[in-house]
A and B are shown apart, each in its own frame.
Chain A
Amino acid sequence: MPYYLKRLLSAIPLVFGITFLSFLIMHLSPGDPTLMYMDPSVSADDLVQVRQNLGLDKPLLIQYFLWLKQLFQGNLGYSFVTGKPVLSAILERLPATLLLSLSSLIIILLITFPLGILCGYKKDTWVDDSITIFSFFGLSIPTFWLGLIFILFFSIQLDLFPTSGFMDPMVINASFFDRAKSVLHHMTLPLLTIIIGGIAGLIRYNRFSMIKILAQDYIISARARGISEKRILFKHAMKNALLPIITILGLDLPSLISGSFIIEYIFSWPGMGQLGVQAVFQRDYPILMATILFSSILIILGNLLADLCYAYADPRISKKVKRLK
């Protein structure tokens, strides 16, 4: 069986596991679970009928599959607070979340890869030491507090960036370029916060993997063949260092997403995270549940993508790669 198919199949039990866990937590949460599936405007008489339809008198496992059926039909229930369907509330928030997390992911990758490699190559010099200390700080700072400090400094003191929001309401009818500029202006601080929180671990990781790679026989053997340091670093070591990064990025995804959710809340960024944190305050279980479910699925997809990229890039897994020119 080809690797990607095997990997794809192995994600299926993961999806079942996560949905079952979500279902269990929801089942244990206070209140009648039927309430979650229903439009609050439904009358009390209909409620009994709905309960029967949902099979709440049946065993737990059956209930789970009934719930799963609803889920796949796109019925995630209704918000306790607004009464709106949960799915549309989430989908409404998804673009802002994806915009913030994908751009932070890309920038993090662009920063950490060269810095980590530099550290590994210049091991135990002042360059390495200062980047290492910086990355330790990045690992230790609570990101939500960093967000507060940025607001305090860049918004309140210097008045450079807005404290919150997605776009200036004044430009809602302006040209695409003006709107994009406003979004970018609003996005700068949250983005900066997520990046500082996210790059630290990856720099450390890149550094270690680079140190390990540079001590390998194939690097010494490349040197013995007279290949230049630049070529060794940017060709021979680089491609080997890139491989583990793909995996580690996939593994880092949960913490990156959890972290960016709190940041969304701090900066009132209208994404899934803000929705989720608000749901915490309002005890809006259906929304909260859906946020967890959606972000888990994002994480699984991310991991899957990472593994597939890895398999594509590593000839030891995919023997039939096309020739590198």
Chain B
Amino acid sequence: MLSVHNLSVTFQIDQKEINAVKGISYQVNQGESLGIVGESGSGKSVSSLAIMGLLPPTASISGDIQFNQTSLFHLNSNEYRQIRGSRIGYIFQNPLAALNPVFSIGNQMVETIQLHHNISKESARRQAIDLLDKVKIINPHKRIDDYPHQFSLGMCQRIMIAMTLSMKPDLLIADEPTASLDVTTQKEILELIDDLKEEYNMAMIFISHDLAVVAERCDRVAVMYLGEIVEIGNPRQIFTSPKDPYTKRLINAIPKIAF
């Protein structure tokens, strides 16, 4: 469904060139989940923002990204916009920052729903309440008129997930969706994502710096280091016989608890 071919991203800052992503390639098939692991700055977020076409203008991109057999780079901005949101959904690392602080969450959800479905404001609102209920926001018909700052971080992430799901995307990109949450909330959000992925039968790219989290829920894992994919394969294979020295270090870094 998605195929990234030889993707490179270069930033131009003060006459200096920074190669954030250096020619990576991978595929994601229908209903499959791919995990991308790597430390911060390894290019995992940049490469997925490139799929969305959301990199700042200072970035120059080469290579090719094909989504359902069409090259995303050949789309005009309107066609790209059709794909964003309705075909590919994106969940951000910091959910509070990803919600506009001056509009109620209902306003933002209704806007998104109406954008992708030709329905009235009232039924969009009903749909938004249903979705909030689905992501386990208590009292959704009341809380829909609240503003982002009135929710906890975990709840904000639930709202972001609800909003992304309202568009029924074929592919969900989750960019470290739990990095800013505490451990117990992390677990709840991860379970929520797993359940909904199953229910909506979406493909997923799950980005994380935590190899264990990725291995647990992904069909395949790609390890990124300094802008390159150093290793890609199924989690068992990577865990039992890592080929790249960086992968070995990653595995060794997972704390082993002895009882």
Residues of A in contact with B (beta carbons under 8 Å apart)? 215-218, 220-229, 231, 235-236, 239-240, 243, 313-316, 319, 323-324
Contact = CB atoms under 8 A, between A and B. Distances in A.
Contacts of B84: 223-226
Given A315-B147, A319-B150, A224 B90 contact: yes
B12 to A, nearest CB: 12
B85 A225 contact: yes
16 contacts: A218-B101, A221-B92, A221-B98, A221-B99, A224-B52, A224-B84, A224-B85, A224-B89, A226-B81, A226-B167, A240-B101, A314-B102, A315-B104, A315-B149, A323-B145, A324-B104
A239 B103 contact: yes
Contacts of A243: 102
Interface residues on B, range: 35 or more
B76 interface: no
Contacts of B160: 221
A156 B103 CA distance: 53
Interface string B92-115: 101001111111101100011001
Contact of B100 (A224, A226, A240, A319): A240
A324 B54 contact: no
Contacts of B102: 239-240, 243, 313-316
B56 to A, nearest CB: 8
B42 interface: no
Contact of B112 (A216, A227, A324): A227
B65 to A, nearest CB: 15
Contact of A225 (B101, B104, B145, B167): B167
A-B interface, 9 closest residue pairs, ranked by CB to CB distance from nearest: A226-B85, A217-B97, A221-B98, A224-B90, A315-B147, A218-B100, A225-B85, A226-B84, A217-B98
Interface string B52-74: 10101000000000000000000
B3 to A, nearest CB: 20
A228 B149 contact: no
Given A221-B90, A240-B101, A226 B82 contact: yes
A70 to B, nearest CB: 46
Nearest to A213: B100
A218 B163 CA distance: 13
B181 to A, nearest CB: 16
Given A217-B92, A220-B54, A315-B147, A225 B164 contact: yes
Contacts of B56: 215
B149 A217 contact: no
Contacts of A218: 97-101
Nearest to A216: B97
A244 to B, nearest CB: 12
B149 to A, nearest CB: 5
A316 B147 contact: yes
Given A223-B52, A226-B81, A323-B104, 10 more contacts: A220-B54, A224-B84, A224-B85, A226-B86, A227-B81, A227-B111, A228-B81, A240-B102, A316-B149, A323-B145
A226 B77 CA distance: 10
A185 to B, nearest CB: 42
Interface in B129-184: 145, 147, 149-150, 160, 163-164, 167
Interface centre among A216, A218, A228 (most CB of B within 10 A): A218
Interface centre among A215, A216, A224 (most CB of B within 10 A): A224
Interface centre among B100, B116, B145, B163 (most CB of A within 10 A): B100
A236 B104 CA distance: 12
A323 B108 CA distance: 12
Contacts of A217: 92, 94, 97-98
Contacts of B86: 226
A231 B86 CA distance: 17
A54 to B, nearest CB: 53
Contacts of B94: 217
Nearest to B83: A226
Interface centre among B83, B94, B98, B111 (most CB of A within 10 A): B98
A231 B106 CA distance: 17
A21 to B, nearest CB: 38
Interface in B27-56: 49, 52, 54, 56
Contacts of B81: 226-228
Nearest to B56: A215
B173 to A, nearest CB: 9
Nearest to B80: A226
Contacts of B85: 224-227
Contacts of A222: 100
